[in-house]
Amino acid sequence: MTTFCHRYAEGVRKLLWPLAAATAGLAYASLYEVNAFVLREFTVPVLAPGADPLRILHLSDTHMTPRQHKKQDWLRGLAALEPDLVVNTGDNIAHMNAVPSVLRAYGDLLDLPGVFVFGSNDYFSPELKNPAKYLTGGTGDDFRDEPDLPWRELRGSFSRRGWHDLTNRHDELTINGRRIAFVGVDDPHLGYDKLDHAPASADADLAIGVAHAPYLRVLDRWNELGYPLILAGHTHGGQLCIPGFGALVTNCDLDRARAKGLHTHQVEGHDPSWLHVSGGLGTSPYAPVRFACRPEASLLTLTGIDSPGPRN
């Protein structure tokens, strides 16, 4: 009887350890890391030799709901960075009443030069989905025919504050005396992108491509057309990552190794483009967890191609 009890207790302990570890991991991911916002900084040697630096604040995947006060307060503080340009790559809202919260959170950043595109969750409210689809190659997305989030209100609010809408269009800004050309697309994840064949402006000091989801068809086209810098979001950096391994998925056809951060993208026969993928600031309300993948905004310091110093 004593031997049986000992074996039974040992078996219970073996079952409890994994359960305890899983519970602790879930608590960390849902209570701490999801609110452990961090600013990532990168140096991108993409300007003409000798050019003065240009600082870009890249925001993405905020997925705001009205009660996310910690996120809103942290975002408001980013205005103290005084970037030269703000680039917003979409998925700003996750609630019907979140537009005022987003505008308050972005605060004084809306008074700076800025450009934006939208993602799927600027159009469609989040839904409960089977997470297994993400791990087996599917996206888990089944969007309705008509958008149900107030994307027109959001677009109008950004535009009235002076940010430029890059939805399937080209535009230009002059920043600190330099001419910056942009091309943008509507969300490739929804198939809303309309790619053209117009090459990057040869007269501009810099040309930047802006998309929500970094699908290869978009990256390939812009690399072929000569865009030296491309900014995107969507991936959440994998959201659930394994230390030492990285992201499990990207929720698009981009490889896992480039799920977030600064990398390059190159089509054979063309010069490489710099690619920055933001790990994003939020999650779906139905999956409010992050593990080994803190929510982030990024400050990119663009320098002359002859400038020394670290890239990240």
Would the pLDDT of 25 be above 80? no
A 10 A CB-CB count for 211 gives 28
Would the pLDDT of 22 be above 70? no
A 10 A CB-CB count for 157 gives 17
Q: Strands 54-59 and 85-88: what pairing?
A: parallel
**How does residue 306 score in pLDDT terms, banded at 50, 70 and 90?**
confident
Would the pLDDT of 6 be above 90? no
The mean pLDDT value for 221-227 works out to 98
Residues in the chain: 312
pLDDT (0 to 100) of residue 216: 98
**How does residue 133 score in pLDDT terms, banded at 50, 70 and 90?**
low
Q: Which residues contact 289 (CB under 8 A, 6 or more apart)?
A: 26, 29, 30, 33, 34, 239, 240, 283
Share of the chain above pLDDT 70, in %: 84
The mean pLDDT value for 131-144 works out to 57
Q: DSSP 3-state assignment of 209?
A: strand
Share of the chain above pLDDT 90, in %: 81
Flag whether the pTM goes above 0.85: yes
Q: Which residues contact 80 (CB under 8 A, 6 or more apart)?
A: none
Domains of the chain, CATH where assigned:
36-304 (3.60.21.10)
- Can you list the positions of beta strands (E) in 53-154? 54-59, 85-88, 114-116
Would the pLDDT of 17 be above 50? no
The mean pLDDT value for 218-222 works out to 98
pLDDT (0 to 100) of residue 177: 95
pLDDT (0 to 100) of residue 128: 84
The mean pLDDT value for 132-150 works out to 68
pLDDT (0 to 100) of residue 31: 72
Name the packing angle between helices 151-160 and 99-106 (round to 10°): 30
Contact 139, 133 (CB under 8 A): yes
**How does residue 21 score in pLDDT terms, banded at 50, 70 and 90?**
very low
pLDDT (0 to 100) of residue 123: 98
Q: Which residues contact 199 (CB under 8 A, 6 or more apart)?
A: 225, 226
A 10 A CB-CB count for 10 gives 10
Q: What is the pLDDT of residues 33-82, one digit of tens each?
A: 999 999 999 999 999 999 999 999 999 999 999 999 999 999 999 999 99
pLDDT (0 to 100) of residue 145: 80
The mean pLDDT value for 83-91 works out to 98
Q: What is the pLDDT of residues 237-277, one digit of tens each?
A: 999 999 999 999 999 999 999 999 999 999 999 999 999 99
Using CA atoms in the order 148, 150, 155, 156, what is the torsion angle rounded to 10 degrees? Answer: 140
